Amino acid sequence: MSREWKWIILVMLSVLLLVGCGKTLDERAAAGIRAAQLAFQSNDENVTEEIEGVKLYKPAGFSLSENSDAQNIIFTKQDETYILFNNPNEKKDSKLFYELLLADQAKEIVKQATFEEEDVFGFVAVIATGNDRVELIASVGGAKMTTMAKPKNIEEDLTRMMEIVRSIKRDS
């Protein structure tokens, strides 16, 4: 192969890589929402942790903070922090966190979606923050998890977050 053809192939591969990496925030948010919906619907994660009577799934690579309690559970994964707010007074079909999100006019919602199955209500949202990160929210009933994420991590983060909030079981 001539040197000229190698150069052309290299340029074409570079263009393809740039096009593939050039997803818009809307496209990334839409992919994250689809992934979270699948996690909501599958609801197949086994409980792996318990904190003060709250049983939940902790994905591989996540750590739990020692400062966690039944209402505020803090997860970390590498340099990311995820905060799980757990309101034991709200049932699985509660829309409280969703209504609070919609009422907050300061939030610039890029995309959001709701999911319902039997007596369970859930939602996810991607919120613009004005910097190189977005706020992600995944919620089921009285459990809401948030994080600040890089746009490239939206799909993976929303999936893991929905797996966690969907897995929560409380002692009665």
pLDDT at 23: 85
Q: Residue 50 domain-assigned? A: yes
Q: Residue 160 domain-assigned? A: yes
Q: Residue 18 domain-assigned? A: no
Residue 126's pLDDT band, with cuts at 50, 70 and 90, is very high
Question: How many domains would you assign to the chain?
Answer: 1
- Judged by DSSP in three states, 118 sits in coil
Which DSSP letter does residue 51 get?
E
pLDDT one-digit tens code per residue, 93-121: 999 999 999 999 999 999 999 999 989 99
117 and 41 Cβ atoms separated by less than 8 Å: yes
Residue 16's pLDDT band, with cuts at 50, 70 and 90, is very low
Q: Residue 55 domain-assigned? A: yes
Q: State pTM to two decimals.
A: 0.84
Q: Residue 151 domain-assigned? A: yes
Long-range contacts of 59-63 (CB under 8 A, 24+ apart): 59/160, 59/163, 59/164, 62/160
Q: Which residues contact 30 (CB under 8 A, 6 or more apart)?
A: 111
Q: Residue 1 domain-assigned? A: no
For residue 122, give the nearest of 151, 143, 101 by alpha carbon.
143
Which DSSP letter does residue 93 get?
T
Q: Residue 48 domain-assigned? A: yes
Q: Does residue 143 surpass a pLDDT of 80?
A: yes
Q: Residue 31 domain-assigned? A: yes
* Number of CB atoms found within 10 A of residue 40's CB: 25
CATH number at residue 107: 3.40.1000
Q: Are strands 134-140 and 143-149 parallel, antiparallel or unpaired?
A: antiparallel
Residue 162: give the domain boundaries: 24-170
